[in-house]
Structure 1
């Protein structure tokens, strides 16, 4: 019998909470990780599959409609909607990185993912999450200039600067993702390679390592502070200036109008950072892998599906653009 693995029967059943009574030993050549997913109850696999397939399709369709409506409407060719279309594209990519693999695993009744596949997925999750982080900061800066410096808005937020902000987000997100994931290659892993989520998350992969993870953990916190904290600080600074500027407006109607231009973006910011913070708080206070898996849905699925609804329902210009887009489509059909 292979001393590094479970019995054949245990592997076939792959009960998430059953552990092989084998002493954990270092393995340099890792074959597979196992994604435990949302539930281990076979009777719930079909409902979970249907739910996440629906969520994925709505996410793709909703964000794609946002992109098409913006690109086909002349008066929406502004910095705010330029950043929004990039945010929608990022949401599509982030959802595509996680949900399809989960659907394939449920359909095939196989929870495994290769070592290289797991690290690749973790890398893309970090990249697109980092990109969304940078885009939200750029959108906050755009709102800051629009409200605090309205007369200079077109001069400051010119097309060159908007493109530069997006292009700078790409190498920043790439460096963050590659730096953290490549450091995992130096770790060795134990026999128990079960990730208590429906996708490979870097923090959960590091927890499975048998070797010393001190450097990885330090690097993770430093990267989170630099690549996550700096954009978040920019968002907080922008909205502090916005609030200060709006409160000085004497007219209540004008104040409401100024705040309403930030409402959709501010809602997305709270959703993105609030759900992410909730996941790490819940994982710190609970040992339940199922609760951790459910919490991970909040930041890896919910923001991506709700962003199109937030902007289309709260934004009058987007409503009009979507109506015109559907009219053009109906005429073509």
Structure 2
């Protein structure tokens, strides 16, 4: 029974306090990664806005992904950086619920947008004649709205399940943010059932979107291999390479967090770093460096800036 326990109003995020000797180093590294991530996403959104050559569905979804990932990192990293330099690493229960809701909602939105990007490439390569009719501005807007609605619908269900009751001491969240698996263990009620349900929902969403992407690429590869010319094959595949690379990294790191067996051990704080810090950093980098259109747009904008200076 939890009646004799103190009902909590705030949590203490343990985070990286278990590594006191390297906290300053961790702050410097993560701050630089965050700054580069933010700048990379802003650059992608700006280029897709100012360059008319990028006003096509593929870059519309890329810009939407950059915006979503910018919001995603804002929910976690600024608080984490502040806690690395603070003596008290507290967060209210309400603040924790909001952080979790936005983290899960934006993470789910990212997964769905990546799926939509795969669907866009599928239509462009497998049905090029119908592509302009199917991927209109209105259709793209509706698909993007569905991605945000779907991501936050799942997030609200999971967050409501976790925060439907009270939390009891100790109030130590063994993580650097309000991760659902760390918070649910502090519930006054039996947390096993809640943890099982939210894990099933998360894994189902993760695997569902990943399998949809794999299915689209099966059709894409089949179509590419049926193209007679080697140049045509290379051109078709080059439009998918950066997206496929990001999908592998995104879902690979996410699977480590959500599919890790409970008994496998390991520091969950360290395990979450690739998914929360590294993946958002690599995503704009890959889309920028491996995409010819983005590099051309960047050179064009840079040329205009240099010309103005003269």
Matched residue SS, 2:91: strand
Return closer, same or farther for 1:26/1:129 CA change in 2, 3 Å cut-off: farther
1:305 aligns with 2:274: no
Q: Helix, strand or coil for the counterpart of 2:130?
A: helix
Which structure 1 segments of 5+ residues have no match?
A: 1-22
Return the alpha-carbon distance in structure 2 between the equivalents of residues 249 and 285 of structure 1: 48
**Which residue in 1 is equivalent to 2:93?**
115
SS of corresponding position for 2:11: strand
Q: What TM-score results when the alignment is normalised by the length of structure 2?
A: 0.92
Tell me the equivalent position of 1:279.
257
| Residue pairs, 1:243-254, within 5 angstroms | 243-254=221-232
Is 1:211 the counterpart of 2:189? The answer is yes
Partner Cα distance (2:177, 2:130) in 1: 45
**Whole-angstrom CA distance in 2 between matches of 1:224 and 1:116:** 22
Corresponding position: 1:295 with 2:271: yes
Q: CA deviation at 1:270?
A: 0.6
Counterpart among 132, 140, 148 of residue 110 in structure 2:
132
Name segments (4+ residues, structure 1) moved above 4 Å: 23-28, 330-333
Q: Classify 1:283/1:26 alpha carbon distance in 2 versus 1 (closer, same or farther; 3 Å).
A: farther
Tell me how far 1:24 sits from its aligned partner.
8.0
* Shift in CA distance, 28/161, structure 1 to aligned 2, threshold 3 Å: farther
1:163 aligns with 2:166: no
Matched, 1:321 2:297: yes
Equivalent residue in structure 1 for 2:71, among 62, 87, 93: 93
The answer to whether the 8 A contact 1:282-1:295 is kept is: no
How far apart are residue 283 of structure 1 and its match? 5.9
Q: Are 2:77 and 1:104 equivalent residues in the alignment?
A: no
**Deviation at 1:192?**
2.2
String of CA shifts for 1:138-193, please: whole Å, max 9, x gaps.
10000000110112211111111101000111221221111111122233333223
> Which residue of the partner structure matches residue 189 of structure 1?
167
Alignment pair present for 1:223 and 2:198: no
Deviation (angstroms), 1:43: 2.5
- How far residue 326 of structure 1 moved from its aligned partner, in angstroms, is 2.6
Q: Distance in 2 between matches of 1:270 and 1:35?
A: 30
Q: How far, CA to CA, are the matches of 1:309 and 1:168 in structure 2?
A: 26
Q: Quick check: 1:121–1:200 contact (8 Å CA) kept in 2?
A: yes
In 1: Cα distance, 2:185 partner to 2:223 partner: 46
Alignment CA distance shift 1:231-1:114 (3 Å):
same
- Secondary structure at the aligned position of 2:88 is classed as coil
Higher mean displacement: 30-39 or 224-233: 224-233
TM-score, length basis structure 1 = 0.86
Q: C-alpha separation between the residues in 2 aligned to 1:26 and 1:225?
A: 35
Structure 1 residue 244: Cα displacement: 1.4
Q: Which residue pairs with 2:45 in the alignment?
A: 67
Please provide the CA RMSD for this pair.
2.1
Aligned residues: 309
Residues 201/331 of structure 1: CA separation in 2 closer, same or farther (3 Å cut)? farther
Determine whether 1:242 maps to 2:220. yes
Q: Following TM superposition, by how much is the alpha carbon of 1:137 offset from its aligned partner in structure 2, in angstroms?
A: 0.7
Cα distance in 2 for partners of 1:280, 1:231 equals 14
| Conservation of the 8 A alpha-carbon contact between 1:26 and 1:210 | no
For residues 74 and 265 of structure 2, the distance between their equivalents in structure 1, rounded to whole angstroms, comes to: 28
Partner Cα distance (1:226, 1:293) in 2: 23
Q: Measure the CA separation in 1 of the matches of 2:4 and 2:197.
A: 22
Residue 233 of structure 1: aligned partner = 211
